[in-house]
Amino acid sequence: QVQLVESGGGSVQAGGSLTLSCAASGHKYGYYCMGWFRQAPGKERERVATIDDSRTAFYAKSVEGRFTIAKDSSGDTLFLHMNNMKPEDTAMYYCAAERTLAGSCDSTFGPKPGGRFYWGQGTQVVVSS
């Protein structure tokens, strides 16, 4: 069973930076696409960024050029480096992992019937203007 534990959320002023971390366990057997989602109150969940087993990254247009997703060398920790933050980045951020063929990522990254998708518990990020 894959377990994901986020940390690093908090409050920051607009223009500031924050780094989220996600400690993963139970994922050593198999290949996984990993990523970050966020959800603000009253809004739909948004896929923020994903990174595949070869460390190729995808970003939502809303964060491209400001956020960077990365994994440590062991693949046990996922990061989301957030720079030049905006009030609209305020949300609960969730780490996620999906077991896929060769650890590839695509636009369907997310929970699906019969899939192996795992969520972290979430970490709150607040950006004040």
CA distances, 39 to each of 89, 101, 125, 128 (Å): 9, 27, 10, 17
CB 6 within 8 A of CB 71: no
Coil, helix or strand at residue 128: strand
pLDDT tens per residue across span 29-57: 778 999 999 999 999 999 999 999 999 99
Cα dihedral 67, 69, 72, 77 in deg (nearest 10)? 100
85 against 113, higher pLDDT? 85
User: For residues 67 and 62, what is the distance between their CA atoms, to the nearest angstrom?
Assistant: 9
Do 37 and 47 form a contact (C-beta atoms < 8 A)? yes
CA dihedral 108, 123, 57, 40 (to 10 degrees): 60
Compute the mean pLDDT over every residue in the chain, rounded to the nearest whole number.
94
pLDDT digits (tens, 9 = 90+) for 81-105: 999 999 999 999 999 999 998 889 9
